[in-house]
Amino acid sequence: MSGISFVKGHGTQNDFVLIPDADGTLAGRLDEKAVRRLADRYAGIGADGVIRVTRTETSAEVRAVADEAEWFMDYRNADGSVAEMCGNGVRVMARYLWENGLVDGSVLTVATRGGVRTVHAEPDGRLTVEMGRAKPAATRQLAFVAAGGRTWEATPVRVPNPHAVVFVDDLDDAGPLTSAPGLRPAAVFPDSANVEFVVGRGHKHIAMRVWERGVGETRSCGTGVCAAAWAAMRRDGAGAGARYTVDVPGGQLVVTERPDGELLLTGPAVLGLRGTVEL
């Protein structure tokens, strides 16, 4: 596998290597080892994840929704593991499709392992993704996160990736996050989870740090921002149509919950470096 074309992009500094593969010929060749090499910040291009941009009809995983979405976001974490969805990544992929003339109009749909997502181009240049509804844990068991020598009760929720949201007094309370936070009980987190450490910044305004499974601490996480905002809305008793601003180390995002429960994620998407990489 050599001479692969790529595009580097980011959403609030959550960065990705995009691999154009419209006809699906790289599906069996872009394995875990190749993904780790591409995402390696010292021996590769460097990224939090790798997105194979391919047509939905080329993948058995999502072929059933080919009539709804022409394009499939085949997303992998930096360690090569598969993830259900990526809220920042889907905006970056949508930007790529629009800028390269592969889709028309100001609205497009993208197939993901977490379902079909609709992306809207806003007049100010930002993109809004319909992220689906949050799904709280089915169990009533209390859940806990441990980090930085401390333990907090957590709110487990899927958006659709699994998350554990923790409200802390200070973002530094989580410590350096050089290793994965502890999660318990295991029954609540059978697939592990991303962990969000959240503080208040004002009325309907929060800030957070995030540990992403398969990656480590990142500058932003789209599904994590949605999970954190959703949990804050419940904590604050916010009503239908609530709109929260969320600060992350890489920038700022906005989450709106529609009256039907659909979460909307609005933020930037930027494309940068382009080239080919030899593996």
Q: CA torsion sign, 2 to 9 to 232 to 165?
A: positive
100 is in an annotated binding site: no
User: Residue 88 annotated as binding?
Assistant: yes
The span from the CA of 206 to the CA of 29, in Å, is: 41
223 is in an annotated binding site: yes
Q: Give the Cβ contact number of residue 127 at 10 Å.
A: 23
- What does DSSP say about strands 216-218 and 251-257: parallel, antiparallel, or unpaired? unpaired
**Ramachandran region of residue 101, left (φ > 0), alpha (ψ -120 to 50) or beta?**
left
Which residue type occupies 76?
R
Question: What residues are annotated to the active site?
Answer: 86, 221
**What does the DSSP assignment read for 51-74?**
EEEEEGGG-TTTGGGTTT-SEEEE
193 touches 156 (CB < 8 A) = yes
Give the helix ranges, DSSP H, for 50-134.
87-99
Identify the residue whose tokens are 């930096």.
78
Query: For the stretch 4-14, what's the b/e string if a residue is b when 16 or more beta carbons lie within 10 angstroms of its beta carbon?
Result: bebbbbbbbbb
Q: Is 161 among the annotated ligand-binding positions? A: yes
Residue 182 known to bind ligand: no
**CA dist., res. 94 & res. 146, Å (int):** 36
* CA 200 to chain CA mean position, Å: 22
DSSP SS3 for 84 = coil
**Which residues are part of a known binding site?**
14, 77, 87-88, 161, 194, 212-213, 222-223
Instruction: Tell me the binding residues for substrate.
Output: 14, 77, 87-88, 161, 194, 212-213, 222-223
